[in-house]
Structure 1
Amino acid sequence: MAGAALAGGIVVLGAGGFLLRRGDHGGNHDAYFGALQAALAQGGLAQPTLVIDAARLDANIARLRDAVGQAHLPLRVVVKSLPCPTLLDRVAKGLSTNRFMVFNGAMLSAMLALHPDGDYLFGKPLPAALVAELYARQGAAALANVQWLVDTPERIAAYAAIARANAARMKLSLEIDVGLHRGGFADPAALAEGVKAALAADCFEIGGLMGYDAHVAKLGNPDAAWADAQRRYGAAIRALGDIVPGDPRRLTLNSAGSYTVMRHTRGTVANEVSVGSAFVKPHDFDIAENGRLDPALFIATPVIKAGHKLDLPGHEYLDGPLAFMDPNTAQAIYIFGGHWMADPVSPPGLQYSDLIGHSSNQELLTASWRTHLKPDDSVFLRPHQSEALMLQFGDLALYEKGRITERWPVFSASA
Structure 2
Amino acid sequence: MCLEFPSMPELSRRTLLIGGTALAGVATLMSKPSDKSGPRDPYFLQMQKALTDAGIATPTLVIDRARLNANIDTLKHHLPQGMGYRIVAKSLPSLRLIDHIRKRTGTDRLMTFNLPMLLALSTEMPEASQLLGKPLPVQAARQYFHKLPPERSDAAGRVQWLIDTPKRLEQYQDLAKDVGRTLNINLELDVGLHRGGFEPGSELGAVLHEIELDPNLEFAGFMGYEPHIPSLPTSLGWRDKALAGAWRSYRAALDQAAEVFGKEAIEQITRNAAGSPTYRYYEDTSIANEVSAGSCLMKPTHFDTELLEPHTPASFIATPVIKSFARTRMPGLEFADNTKRAWDPNYSKTIFIYGGHWLPDPVDPPGLEYNSTFGRSSNQEMLNGGPELQIAPDEFVFLRPHQSEAVFLQFGDIAVYEDGEIVDSWPVFEASA
Quickly name the TM-score band, shorter chain normalised.
over 0.9
Give CA deviations for 1:124-147 in whole Å, capped at 9, x if unaligned.
111111111112222664411100
* Matched residue, 1:132: 142
* Matched residue, 1:168: 181
| 181-190 or 122-131: bigger deviation | 181-190
5 Å-filtered alignment, 1:14-413, equals 17-68=28-79, 70-138=80-148, 141-221=154-234, 222-247=239-264, 248-265=266-283, 269-413=287-431
How far has the Cα of 1:377 moved from its partner?
1.0
* Matched residue, 2:13: none
| Letter aligned with residue 64 of structure 1 | L
The DSSP-based 3-state class of the residue aligned with 1:147 is strand
How far has the Cα of 1:382 moved from its partner?
0.2
Segments ≥4 residues shifted beyond 6 Å = 13-16
How far has the Cα of 1:67 moved from its partner?
1.6
CA RMSD of aligned residues (A): 1.7
Structure with higher Rg: it is: 2
The DSSP-based 3-state class of the residue aligned with 2:358 is coil
| Letter aligned with residue 250 of structure 2 | Y
Q: Distance in 1 between matches of 2:337 and 2:409?
A: 37
| 213-222 or 147-156: bigger deviation | 213-222
TM-score by length of 1: 0.93
How far has the Cα of 1:219 moved from its partner?
1.2
Q: Distance in 1 between matches of 2:267 and 2:348?
A: 61
Residues 307 and 374, structure 1, Cα contact 8 Å, conserved in 2: no
Pair 231,220 (structure 1): closer, same or farther in 2 beyond 3 Å: same
The DSSP-based 3-state class of the residue aligned with 1:132 is helix
Q: Distance in 1 between matches of 2:47 and 2:128?
A: 35
How far has the Cα of 1:19 moved from its partner?
3.5
The DSSP-based 3-state class of the residue aligned with 1:237 is helix
| Letter aligned with residue 58 of structure 1 | N
| Letter aligned with residue 156 of structure 1 | L
The DSSP-based 3-state class of the residue aligned with 1:288 is coil
Q: Distance in 1 between matches of 2:411 and 2:363?
A: 18
| Letter aligned with residue 349 of structure 2 | Q
Residues 20 and 325, structure 1, Cα contact 8 Å, conserved in 2: no
Residues 83 and 285, structure 2, Cα contact 8 Å, conserved in 1: no
Residues 21 and 324, structure 1, Cα contact 8 Å, conserved in 2: no
| Letter aligned with residue 398 of structure 2 | F
| Letter aligned with residue 114 of structure 2 | N
The alignment-based identity, stated in percent, is: 42
| 309-318 or 169-178: bigger deviation | 309-318
How far has the Cα of 1:201 moved from its partner?
3.2
| Letter aligned with residue 215 of structure 2 | D
Pair 188,249 (structure 1): closer, same or farther in 2 beyond 3 Å: farther
Q: Distance in 2 between matches of 1:268 and 1:18?
A: 56
The DSSP-based 3-state class of the residue aligned with 2:357 is coil
Gaps in structure 1 of 5+ consecutive residues: 1-12
Give CA deviations for 1:147-185 in whole Å, capped at 9, x if unaligned.
000000000001100100111110000000000000001
| Letter aligned with residue 127 of structure 1 | P
Q: Distance in 2 between matches of 1:188 and 1:95?
A: 37
Q: Distance in 2 between matches of 1:190 and 1:365?
A: 54
Q: Distance in 1 between matches of 2:154 and 2:63?
A: 36
| Letter aligned with residue 105 of structure 2 | L
| 33-42 or 241-250: bigger deviation | 241-250
Gaps in structure 2 of 5+ consecutive residues: 1-23
How far has the Cα of 1:54 moved from its partner?
1.0
Give CA deviations for 1:39-97 in whole Å, capped at 9, x if unaligned.
111111111011110110111111111221x4321100011111111110111111101
